[in-house]
Amino acid sequence: MAADRCDLNVDVRTTPAFDAHDAETLVRKAAAELDAELPGPAPTRVTPVASWPPFQLQPHEQPAAALMDAAATLGLTVRAKTAGPSNIGNLLAGQAGGIPSTAGFGVPYEGLHGIDERASLAELPQVYAVYHRAVLDLLDAR
């Protein structure tokens, strides 16, 4: 016996240039194209569940500034990126009253969220050193 319904959750990352409306439009367009190519007994129904705006800390905001400074002090070149809705920094910044936070600084990775996701653990001591330096700098600033 075949199922008469399939529920699918889609997570679309928003950015300052691609907001929740753009994401919903993209998903609705993809669903309409699928319905046209492979019609089912009923058209696909898209129901937005939640939307969090993207955020990016300004270069002077802590703790991101401390991490960036610590990385530079240790001779690393790093750059800030806009974080997607599933990271804890977004939750704290957007849902918990604007608490500045960061998704953090970590080891290089490939295949993010894929079946071949992997991280370079050889870089872990360097990442630890950056966090250690950043925490010490933040403690000195108080």
Closest CA to 100 of 71, 138, 133: 138
Looking at the structure, tell me whether residues 26 and 81 fall in a common domain.
no
What's the pLDDT score for residue 2?
63
Query: What is the predicted pLDDT for the residue at 93?
Result: 67
Does some domain include residue 43?
yes
Residues 24 and 90 reside in one and the same domain: no
**What is the secondary structure of the chain as a DSSP string?**
---S----------BTTB-HHHHHHHHHHHHHHHHHHS--SS------------B---TTSTTHHHHHHHHHHTT-------B-TTSHHHIIIIITTS----------EESTTSTT-EE-GGGHHHHHHHHHHHHHHHHHH-
Q: What is the mean pLDDT of each run of 10 residues along the chain (142 residues)?
A: 77 82 94 92 88 74 88 90 63 67 80 87 93 92 65
pLDDT of residue 91: 67
Number of domains comprising the chain: 2
Asked, for residue 105, whether it belongs to a domain, the answer is yes
24 falls within a domain: yes
Alpha carbons 31 and 42: distance in angstroms, whole number:
12
Task: Quote the CA–CA distance of 46 and 74 in Å, as a whole number.
Answer: 48
57 assigned to some structural domain: no
Which of 51, 77, 93 is the C-terminal boundary of a domain?
51
User: What pLDDT is stored for residue 142 in this prediction?
Assistant: 60
* Same-domain pairing of 133 and 70: yes
Following CA atoms 38, 43, 47, 51 in sequence, which dihedral angle do they give, to the nearest 10 degrees? 40
Residue 18 domain boundaries: 1-51
Burial string for 40-72 (b: 16+ CB within 10 Å, else e) reads eeeeeeeeeeeebebbbbeeeebbbbbbbbbbe
For residue 92, the domain's CATH number is 1.10.150.900
